[in-house]
């Protein structure tokens, strides 16, 4: 029974790490979309 518990917690940790990675990638994609828009606005102003 103890083995299953440790396996389960390891799987949970892996899932949490993947969630963090997905969040990081999503933030990077949002930045990649927002930055050109901001630069375009700045160029229009200048």
Confidence (pLDDT) at 2: 63
The listed range with the strongest mean pLDDT (2-6, 9-13, 27-31) is: 27-31
Residue ranges of the domains in the chain?
Answer: 1-46
Residue 1: helix, strand or coil by DSSP? coil
Stronger pLDDT, 3 or 19, i.e. the higher one? 19
Confidence (pLDDT) at 1: 54
Handedness of CA 18, 24, 26, 28 (dihedral sign): negative
pLDDT exceeds 80 at position 26:
yes
Confidence (pLDDT) at 42: 93
State pTM to two decimals. Answer: 0.57
pLDDT exceeds 90 at position 37:
yes
| C-alpha–C-alpha distance, residues 32 and 26, integer Å | 10
């Amino acid at each position: 029974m103890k083995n299953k518990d440790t396996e389960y917690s390891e799987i949970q940790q892996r899932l949490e790490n993947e969630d963090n990675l997905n969040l990081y990638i999503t933030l990077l994609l949002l930045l990649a979309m927002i930055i050109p828009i901001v630069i375009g606005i700045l160029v229009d102003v200048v």
